Structure 1
Amino acid sequence: MPITRLILLFVFLLFGKACLALSPSRTYKTLPQDHRMKYESIKIPTPDGAILQAWYFPSSRGNQLMVISHDGVENMAAYLERVRIFVNYGFNVVTYDYRGFGGSSDFQIDPLNYIYKEFFTDFDAVIAYVSERFDHEIIVYGWGIGAGIGLNHGYNRHQITGIIADNPYVDFAALGSRFKAIHSPMKIPSSVMIPEFNTITVVSQPAGKDLRGILYFHGNENYVFKEEDMQRLYDQTDFEFKQLHVFEKSGHMDNFTVNESTYARIIYGFVMNF
């Protein structure tokens, strides 16, 4: 690997959360029991033979099941605090790791790939599993790549009642051009460079029959996804009950980190109103 590429890779891994680099960790540095959280460890098979590690966190206070898709940084153990908050709000929660992350199946990952087609397969397998096992209304929530995956493959899926997408990608061709404009070494795999993987194409079509609401989050100082990108996605979303909340002075891909309590209250209020 050329020295310039090594330097760029180091910088992007060091600032992975801001720069979109995939940075998987196979080790769970903490577990739910370390935080006295009630949970069940489950294994979910995918149609192409992978096995996904997932955790189910029950709540006795509500009938909604939130499926969380993370942004490809570390693994699901890094986000237990937000799980705890959502369970306290009355949501049942399922978290999972994409292949190549945490306790899921091995998968070779180039950290400079923005996303992998296989991650969409993983999401589909999780939704199929929870739809079969649980009698709950399903809400999909994610940030970064997790937001794009949930929006892209959840929008027209009949079992899903709500979608919460924090800084989803809009269009892969445009994103590739944006990477070049900011001199980023990030790349888009050719396997997803087709219209069916562009969120703006998907949300321009009729939604699934069970969908009742879509909530978008955005930080107005995000240098990769501009406010006009999110506004265009919002405007193109062919669904009546939709919201776009913009966090001021936020350049984060994960706006939960800006103000946890406000973020969680917005989600709770959104779900209670659809």
Structure 2
Amino acid sequence: MKKRSLFLGGFLSALGIGGLGYFITNTFLYLPKKDDELVRSREINALRLIQEEYDTLPKEEVTIPSPYGYHLNAVFATPHPHKKYMIFAHGVTENKLNSIKYMNLFIKKGFNAIIYDHRRHGASGGKTTSYGYYEKFDLKAVVDELIRREGEDVFFGIHGESMGAATMLLYGGCVEDRADFYIADCPYSDFGEQLAYRMSVELKMPVRFLLPLVNRTLKWREGYSLKELSPISVIQNIQKPVLFIHSMEDDYILPKMTEDLFHKKQGDKMLHLDFRGTHAQSYNEDPEKYDSVIQQFLDEVVAARTEGA
């Protein structure tokens, strides 16, 4: 009877621990998304989206097949006749409408643009958010479609915000370093570290000991591990220029993560932390400064590399 009680107690304990791992992974795999119309209204009210201008912009809605069996919804905006493009990767819970403000900035600089919805966001398919694991290959599918349309000689950069920035760095670091330059706005350097930090803030207790449990559950449920969501582990593989942007007031993803990425990145790079605002608000708080920093990067780093190639 004693052995039976011990076995039952161990079983119930394991069930509880397993349930905790399932609950934690469920929380971030199915993080509630913002409604498309909410994002549209927010951007319109903030004058970052002028609906009439967007409606008259030469563009095409494009459906791109993901290698994982669903489709990605993208918009190719082509106000310029040349082969010069920017691709924009939005953050978690957002959608491609949040990228329009960045798109407008680059269109004024002479770039055409591609905005698209990540898997499980906006009008794209996909069941879960994978924080860069599947998204990096979806980004490659977007790049492949651009090259199919414009040819191998197309010149393009990629801009990513938050999870989109981490996705972009994972794409450049472990899929292909195909873009001519990258702009990483408030990325996490390691999703496991970011998860531990957010849980400690929100649960008010040290929870790093839960990461092995979360890792095992994630591997069992989704087939990948936390260590595969670590831009800092692959950043050294990116040879093309990277501009790192972060606000020192960001307490959701700490700016130290961007500093760590910057220091580990080899070759051409630039770092700007002197922005105001909370997470992913650097542009919203000071669009003129954001524009100026990007122009400096294009003039001093990207152009110099291009001329020397």
Q: TM-score, normalising length from structure 2?
A: 0.70
- 2:227, 2:119 → 1: CA distance? 24
- Which residue is 2:18 aligned to? none
Amino acid at match of 1:167: C
175-184 or 59-68, which moves further after superposition? Answer: 59-68
2:254 equivalent to 1:226: yes
- 1:62, 1:268 → 2: CA distance? 19
Structure 2 gap ranges (5+): 1-26, 42-50, 205-213, 303-309
- Which residue is 2:192 aligned to? 173
- Which residue is 1:75 aligned to? 95
- 2:84, 2:295 → 1: CA distance? 11
- 2:269, 2:181 → 1: CA distance? 10
Distance 1:263 1:248, change over 3 A: closer
1:117-132 equivalences in 2 (<5 Å): 117-132=133-148
2:172 equivalent to 1:154: yes
2:25 equivalent to 1:25: no
- 1:125, 1:83 → 2: CA distance? 19
CA contact (8 A) 1:22 1:114 kept: no
Distance 1:263 1:93, change over 3 A: same
- 1:236, 1:102 → 2: CA distance? 33
Distance 1:163 1:68, change over 3 A: same
- 2:52, 2:139 → 1: CA distance? 22
More helix by share: 2
Deviation at 1:34, TM superposition (A): 5.0
Amino acid at match of 1:43: T
Determine which structure has greater relative contact order: mean sequence separation of CA pairs < 8 Å that are 6+ residues apart, divided by chain length: 1
Residues paired across the two proteins, number: 245
3-state SS in 2 of match to 1:117: coil
122-131 or 165-174, which moves further after superposition? Answer: 122-131
- Which residue is 2:161 aligned to? 143
Amino acid at match of 1:243: M
Deviation at 1:265, TM superposition (A): 2.5
- Which residue is 1:8 aligned to? none
Percentage identity across aligned positions?
Answer: 20
- Which residue is 1:98 aligned to? 118
Amino acid at match of 1:159: R
CA RMSD of aligned residues (A): 2.9
Q: Which has the larger radius of gyration?
A: 2
- 2:53, 2:200 → 1: CA distance? 45
- Which residue is 1:207 aligned to? 238
Deviation at 1:37, TM superposition (A): 1.5
CA contact (8 A) 1:52 1:103 kept: yes
Deviation at 1:38, TM superposition (A): 1.5
Structure 1 gap ranges (5+): 1-11, 13-20
Deviation at 1:247, TM superposition (A): 2.8
More strand by share: 1
